[in-house]
Amino acid sequence: MPLPNEPTLALACDLISRASETPEDAGCLDLIQARLAPLGFRFERIDVGGVCNLWARRGEQAPVLCFAGHTDVVPTGPLERWDSPPFEPTIRDGMLYGRGAADMKTSLAAFVTSIEQFIADHPNHSGSIALLLTSDEEGIASHGTVKVVEALAARGERLDYCIVGEPTSVNTLGDTIKNGRRGSLSGTLRVKGQQGHVAYPQLARNPIHMLAPALAELTTIRWDEGNEFFPATTWQVSNIHAGTGANNVIPGECEVMFNFRFASVSTADELKARTHEVLDRHGLEYTIDWHLSGKPFITGRGKLVAALSGAISETLGVETELSTTGGTSDGRFIADVCSEVVEFGPVNATIHKLNECVAVDAIAPLSTVYMRTLRTLLAA
């Protein structure tokens, strides 16, 4: 379809038309860089392992307000089940359809147009504006934002405020800001026994039977009580495997995969130690492979939350709520170099689904919210 006249909608359509399935960027970063170049930004490409990363900054002074996001999208799923091609942006019944419409190409477009409008109004603004963009968020996220953050940390470059454009709204644009995320700690537990015939259990050691009491105890532990922003830490088993497939063989090993989603009142090391204490007390012979995919982070009710909440109220007439629900995001990496990190973007009802879409009448207001946040924090 021809590009619409409204600037944010037009740019969102241009971005959606680029088939940037993770970790592909498909030229999205080049498009965004071309839009920002006339505005006096400095650009740095930090591409690693086939992943495209862009760091852009305008200004040298603090405070630094950074917009962060990703150009990559999840796979489309069966093309025949889409009502229109996923990489051909389509407007019908007041909705913009296409893969990435909500997660998160509309946010990227709104970043750019909000910056353009703000600089037009405040060419000599205080502080600095930055963008941190990657094509590796929907995948394994090992060569994306984390690598840019490492480069910033290595040279002592810190941020004061960061808005990640994740689709956080639930029912209507502006109803929810994510001001933190739980940590995610996974473990693969392998309990050793001794394989044998089920008719001669005295000659074998069944690791499932041995593990069962400890597993039952782990499911009942109250790991912490959470706090104002986080629910209590949870521990969940996601997979159990043992045996050869025969019904007359006692297995020699049992493997259990589990995950902690943990609040900021607990640390990964504390959770590991408590897990080991239970398993050791039950006398198990075992190993655990641990994987920490994200530490918890939290941003309290400071300047960024106040500025963004005020912009939402001014633009949309919505009183926003703070939330830390959901999975992990790249905010977990950015929090290492930034004092205040929040996430805010479109309604998330269709993300990762067939026929992903976003309301057309919410696209320009999203840009206005970002622009007014810039105005509150950086206007000279």
Beta bridge partner(s), residue 202: none
Q: What is the CATH number of the domain that holds 275?
A: 3.30.70.360
1 inside domain: no
DSSP string, 139-177: S--SSSHHHHHHHHHHTT--EEEEEE----BSSSTTSEE
Mean predicted lDDT score pLDDT of the chain: 96
Q: What is the CATH number of the domain that holds 95?
A: 3.40.630.10
Residue 124's domain comprises 7-181+296-378
Looking at the structure, do residues 243 and 312 belong to the same domain, yes or no?
no
Instruction: Please report the pLDDT score of residue 1 as a whole number.
Output: 60
Looking at the structure, do residues 129 and 204 belong to the same domain, yes or no?
no
33, 61 contact by CB (below 8 A): no
> Hey, what long-range contacts does 203-210 have (CB within 8 A, 24 or more apart)?
204/250, 205/250, 206/250, 206/251, 207/242, 207/251, 207/252, 207/253, 207/254, 208/242, 208/251, 208/254, 210/282, 210/284
2 inside domain: no
321 is catalytic: no
Looking at the structure, do residues 143 and 153 belong to the same domain, yes or no?
yes
Q: Residue 351 — very low, low, confident or very high, per pLDDT cuts 50/70/90?
A: very high
Of the residues 14, 21, 72, 343, only one is catalytic, namely 72
Per the annotation, binding residues are: 70, 103, 138, 166, 352
Question: For 158-209, what is each residue's pLDDT tens digit?
Answer: 999 999 999 999 999 999 999 999 999 999 999 999 999 999 999 999 999 9
338, 157 contact by CB (below 8 A): no
42 inside domain: yes
Looking at the structure, do residues 56 and 160 belong to the same domain, yes or no?
yes
Among residues 261, 294, 327, the one where a domain terminates is 294
Among residues 250, 268, 294, the one where a domain terminates is 294
Looking at the structure, do residues 79 and 115 belong to the same domain, yes or no?
yes
Per the annotation, binding residues for Zn(2+) are: 70, 103, 138, 166, 352
Instruction: Please report the pLDDT score of residue 272 as a whole number.
Output: 98
104 inside domain: yes
Looking at the structure, do residues 176 and 279 belong to the same domain, yes or no?
no
**Gap between the Cα atoms of 49 and 271, Å rounded:** 32
Looking at the structure, do residues 121 and 267 belong to the same domain, yes or no?
no
Looking at the structure, do residues 170 and 30 belong to the same domain, yes or no?
yes
Question: For 27-84, what is each residue's pLDDT tens digit?
Answer: 999 999 999 999 999 999 999 999 999 999 999 999 999 999 999 999 999 999 999 9
Instruction: Please report the pLDDT score of residue 140 as a whole number.
Output: 84
Instruction: Please report the pLDDT score of residue 325 as a whole number.
Output: 87
72 is catalytic: yes
Instruction: Please report the pLDDT score of residue 5 as a whole number.
Output: 83
Number of domains in the chain: 2
Among residues 279, 294, 309, the one where a domain terminates is 294
**Which residues in 127-165 are b (16+ Cβ under 10 Å) and which e?**
bbbbbbbbbbbbbebebbbbbbbebbeeeeeebbbbbbb
Of the residues 137, 330, 343, 356, only one is catalytic, namely 137
Q: Mean per-residue pLDDT for 124-153?
A: 95
Q: Mean per-residue pLDDT for 121-129?
A: 97
